[in-house]
Chains A and B, each alone.
Chain A
Amino acid sequence: MTRRRPRLAVWKFTSCDGCQLSLLDCEDELLTLDRHIDIAYFMEATSRAEPGPYDLSLVEGSISTPEQLEQIVRIRDQSRVVVAIGACATSGGLQALRNFADIDEMTRVVYASPAHIQTLSCSTPISQHIAVDFELQGCPISKTQLLEVLGAFLRGERPVLPTYSVCVECKLQGVLCLSVSQGRTCLGPITQAGCGALCPRYDRGCFGCYGPKELSQPRALGEFVKAQHKVSDRDWVRWLRSYQAGASEFAKESERHEKDR
């Protein structure tokens, strides 16, 4: 191959490392990938750390400290294409729970010397700070979807990923609806597909780790589960506030219930 391999950078902000690990979890594809993409910067995997510019930057994690506000702008400047990967990068992640609380109080709960801790009051998605070319949702992301993103990038196309709900995946897999047949709460109707209806297949209601689907209607689902499944306001807020708590559709609905109380 004489053509220059496009240069890839993988960045970490506030996160658990799981989404970048998905790249190393591509055991069957990693060496093939290396033939087509030059992994120029990926701290989790290499000590090469080559400077930019980069053709593609995968960004994991949310923005939660003052330094990160500057760093993400520099990354945008150095990258032709920026893809946010995972719930932290697309909606602020689990740590966006701080957005609904008093951050000083939280710091005091965890650290005895809170003055040493530099943190922002909100944990926010990458798209709130820079233009993002594509968002890959999920906590964690699906490695199949990650490969689709990389493949599409190499082909110069947009990734083709489902924007429908987990419900559709249940139907495709022939999984009996937990909500209708057993009266159990499930976020499937408002959650984007991609996991292959994982939780319902394991006899568990979807807890929304892939985030809101296109035109997600959490309010309608909220009215349904409260009436049909006798879910309390407090529990409904808890359902919405987990790994995608900061996603605007979920956040708006959870805040509505807090106001109602």
Chain B
Amino acid sequence: MKKTAKKTSSKSVGKSAGKSAGKSASKSAAKSAGKSKKARRQAKPVRDRRQAATKVIKVDYLARVEGEGALFLKYQRGKVEEVRLKIFEPPRFFEAFLQGRDFSEAPDITSRICGICPVAYQMSAVHAMENAAGVVVPKGIRQLRRLLYCGEWIESHVLHIYMLHAPDFLGVPDVMTMARQYKDEVERGLRQKKRGNLIVKTLGGREIHPINVKVGGFYSLPPWEELARLREELVQGRDEAWATLRFVKGFEFPDFSREVELVSLVNSQEYPMNEGRIRSSTDLDIAAQEFEAHFEEEHIAYSHALFSKRRGRGSYLVGPMARFSLNYPQLSAVARQGADEVGLAPGCQNPFKSILARAVEVLYAFDEAVRLLDNLERPAGPSVPVEFTQAARGAWATEAPRGLLYHRYEIQADGSINTAQIIPPTSQNQRTIEEDVRELVLAHPELDEDRLRHRCEQAIRNYDPCISCATHFLKIKKEVVA
């Protein structure tokens, strides 16, 4: 595997020298305050990084992003010295495991990267393999895949709206506490999540790590009579999605907005899930296979995830807000009405309103799922054959709930995987998250430490970076320089 590592001088080298005393002071303060060992442990990599030069790299990517993370923030009045979104979730080496495995194993193996959006990994994997083999699946299989993706969008978005994000707006620690005051809303959220899961279960066999997706289609087609029952549930889900919109509409959104390049799949036929060209709010318009020519990743010492940026540009944003803005005309009439209901318009750059975009996409996903079921063409068989007789290369991007998910594989003539590259949405959003936090701190000198910490945590959760880290993401370590 070819990789390049380019050294750049670390900007923090000069200023860090004088701060090391402050660092150890704050470390012992954490100790005396009885903070957990884990919190103290996080201070270490920061010190290490001061000695190491920052490296810019291009490498086969290990797709393990979502999980344990932390924020390091260092600021003084009118100046933010450092913001670090640290993902310290242990590495799992997926790209290394994939080497030598059969191409047919990729959807199942990569789904284990994330228990919350396994369908997204399966979808990007099967499309990339079919792209390598030059296979196009029939319309009915395409429809079923889109239906499956609707299920995951619903399940993942509703989870985030009700269980992870709403508690921030309502000032409660969790959904269980929220249920004491907002019982109807929480019960509705649980019902909606269950409906999303029902789609995944019906088509995929189970909610987490579905077993029915294969390169070329499915292992077996869902029983057609179950789809009729599913439709009834989805119609109810579509109705209830309006109640979610009205619920989140009432939240108080911090007045904050920041210009950032939005990147999403765009497809002239439909709101993007499984396919489209990669476009941005500025000038980008490329095929998914050209992704690596326009985006690059850096390995930063304090994080186990790789940070993406647009070559020659910098940070960008993927996910519901980008999709909504770049694909507004492709939303169904119902979904556009939903957006009107909550006052969300394309071009909105307030990340705190991402919860509105998710709620609109939930309405859309229910609406689209019903439409798909009404127009479903039963495929002749559950899958079409896919095989390799010579070495091939394939790449694809789909829209995971959290944004663009890119897979690229090189396959050998015997069908085994030679190399794999996986770029998930969270690593693409990391820089943008850090920049949001930086701007927030500058914009709110009046907030005390506690409120600022909470606001920063909320700002990170705006991106739904991951279930475990999103809920209680931060161990904020703040040094206020006098």
A residues in contact (CB < 8 Å) with B = 12-22, 24-25, 27-28, 30-31, 34, 39, 42-49, 64-65, 67-68, 70-71, 74, 93-95, 97-98, 101, 105-107, 109-113, 115-117, 119, 139-140, 195, 198-199, 201-204, 207, 209, 238, 242-243
Contact = CB atoms under 8 A, between A and B. Distances in A.
Which 10 pairs show the lowest CB-CB distances between chains A and B?
A18-B115, A46-B174, A112-B57, A110-B62, A106-B96, A112-B59, A27-B194, A27-B190, A47-B472, A140-B208
A92 B159 CA distance: 27
Interface in B83-122: 89-97, 99, 101-102, 105, 108-109, 112-116, 118
A30 B114 CA distance: 22
Given A31-B176, A31-B190, A74-B37, 14 more contacts: A12-B68, A16-B115, A17-B67, A25-B197, A30-B176, A47-B173, A47-B174, A47-B472, A70-B37, A106-B96, A110-B59, A110-B93, A112-B4, A201-B205
Interface of B: 1, 3-5, 37-38, 41, 52, 55, 57-62, 66-68, 89-97, 99, 101-102, 105, 108-109, 112-116, 118, 159, 163, 167, 173-177, 179, 186-187, 190-191, 193-194, 197, 205-209, 211-212, 219-220, 299, 301, 304, 306, 382, 457, 466-469, 471-472
A22 B208 contact: yes
A110 B205 contact: no
B118 A34 contact: no
Contacts of B220: 202-204
B468 A112 contact: no
**Which among A12, A202, A204 has the highest number of chain B CB atoms within 10 Å?**
A202
A94 B90 contact: no
Contacts of B466: 17
Nearest to A17: B115
A27 B116 contact: no
Nearest to B100: A238
Nearest to B168: A47
Given A45-B163, A119-B90, A238-B102, A110 B95 contact: yes
Contacts of B1: 109
A1 B197 CA distance: 33
A117 B467 contact: no
A113 B6 CA distance: 11
B55 A199 contact: no
Nearest to B209: A140
A202 B203 CA distance: 10
Contact of B116 (A14, A17, A49, A64): A17
Given A71-B38, A112-B3, A18 B194 contact: no
Nearest to B206: A198
A117 B212 CA distance: 35
9 contacts: A14-B90, A21-B467, A31-B176, A31-B190, A70-B37, A71-B38, A112-B55, A202-B211, A242-B109
Given A18-B208, A46-B173, A67-B41, A204 B219 contact: yes
Given A47-B174, A65-B90, A109 B472 contact: no
Contact of B179 (A31, A42, A98): A31
Contact of A110 (B89, B96, B105, B186): B96
A113 B301 contact: yes
Contacts of B90: 13-14, 64-65, 68, 119
Contacts of B467: 17, 20-21, 44
B113 A43 contact: no
A107 B91 contact: yes
Nearest to A62: B90
Contact of A47 (B99, B209, B211, B471): B471
A16 B112 contact: yes
B91 A117 contact: yes
A18 B152 CA distance: 13
B211 A199 contact: yes
A116 B468 contact: no
